[in-house]
Amino acid sequence: MKIQSYKFGHIEIDGTVYRNDVRLIGNKVLPEWWRSQGHYVDLMDANDLLAAEAEVCIFGTGAYGSMRIAPEVEAAFKKRGVQVITEKTSSACDLYNRLTNEGKKVIAGLHLTC
């Protein structure tokens, strides 16, 4: 799976355009990622990411970096041996493509707006 482009409120993945936040798990795009507290990711919001087999989890925090990750989410990934990286979404998309090209098992939660 490859992210072709990202700009505020718009991401193209394998030729399909999404306009709401997404999660990338394995070779699937899970669209319409709504969180219970909007710009905050808690354990419930990350359940499907936590259940996935991965080496790295990337959180794209938005164009301006507005989304935050709960410390409990990072701790849960660390307990499973999964590295967590948080970046503004543009950088997160580039990193996702680079790491998957290197053969890493990468999952991602990407906030597309602020």
Which parts of the chain register pLDDT below 70? none
* Per-residue confidence (pLDDT) for residue 2, from 0 to 100: 97
pTM recorded for the entire structure: 0.97
Give 3-state DSSP helix, strand, coil % of the chain, rounded to 5: 25, 35, 40
* Per-residue confidence (pLDDT) for residue 95, from 0 to 100: 98
3-state secondary structure (DSSP) of residue 72: helix
Q: Residues near 43 by Cβ (< 8 Å), separated by ≥ 6?
A: 50, 70, 72, 73, 76
